[in-house]
Structures are given as C-alpha cells and as structure tokens.
Structure 1
Amino acid sequence: MEHLFANLLLNSIQAMSAKSGGVIEIRVKRVGKRAVIEVRDSGPGVKEENLDKMFEPFVGFRHEGFGLGLFSVRRIANEHGGDVKAASTLGVGTTITVTLQAAPTEP
C-alpha cells in the first residue's frame, strides 16, 4: 500500500512540475464497506482519450520516467480487491480515485 500512495503522490508532483508548482488535495471517505481515496492535483490535466492509457505500462505523458507509476497503482489496488479511476480537465488538473476494501469498524 505504501508503494501505491507514493506513486500517486509522485505522479501528481511530477504533473505539476511543468507548471512550477501547484496544489495536491487528498480526500478519504468511507462508502459502505469501501474506502475511497481521491488525489487531486492542479497540473495541466490529461486529454479524455488518454485517461485509460495512463494506467498502461510504459505509457507516459512526460519526458522523464518509465510510465510505470500509475500502472503499479492500478495493479496494487486490483491485488487488494480495489479499483482505480481517473478524471481530468485540461488546464485544471487530474483526480485519481482509488477504491479499496475498508478495514472493519469497531462495534
């Protein structure tokens, strides 16, 4: 899980480096028996037709890196019974939403 969250944050940081900074928002909520984690950045955004490609191995939209960060995020989430989705608006930023099985609550 540490690797999943490190890659999410690194992806947002790198996306914003083209803009010389920005804001990252992290939101966590429980929805039924699931934990929903949203990481939103104020980077340049991604074209809609590229949203699913973001999670493929060796696909990147920057000149640096190997294109494995978000691929690893999805793989780790899937291994834990979760899922990952992306939403983006060009010029505004990108939100990556990770949904995982939540820990049981105390009675």
Structure 2
Amino acid sequence: MSDVVTEAVAALNAKMDGGFDGTAKFIIEDEGSIMIDENGARAGDDDAEVSMTATAETFKAILDGEQDPTAAFMTGKLTVDGDMGKAMALAGVLS
C-alpha cells in the first residue's frame, strides 16, 4: 500500500464521524484504492455502489478542503462511476 493511500485513509477516518451509509471506492491514480463503508475508510479494492477516480493531487486537495468535490467533477478532475446519489452523500460527509 502506498503512503498516499495510508495517509488518505487516516485523513478520511478523521473527517468522518463514524461510517458511511453505503459503499464507495476512491481510486487514486497510480497509488491504489480506498473503500468507505459503515465501518469507515480502509485500503481496499472491493465492489462499491459508487467509484470515484482522481489523481493524488486532486484527491489531497479535496481532503484538505482546497478543492470542492462537485467542482472537481464538473471540471473533469474527478470521475464518478455508479450511484451519483451516494457520491453526493459522501461529498456532504467529507465537507
């Protein structure tokens, strides 16, 4: 597992108050994947209701609050595959 994924898992768990109602996967290009579910965030590459893909730089900016997830999606920096409602719910949990 890459340092980027390890740091992102820790940051996501610190941001979330508990788990997430559903399953989501963040795919960080050239680094790995993070699963988010009712137990919180962890490294993994399981099936999910929604998958979101971004570069490490974009993902870090979203986590740091420097990049709005919706704006990242609208400008093509973040791609979403699957349940858009789950993606929007996750954006709300992370902000």
TM-score calculated relative to the size of structure 1: 0.30
Larger Cα-atom Rg: 1
Return the structure number with greater relative CO, CA threshold 8 A, min gap 6: 1
- Structure 2 length normalisation: TM-score? 0.32
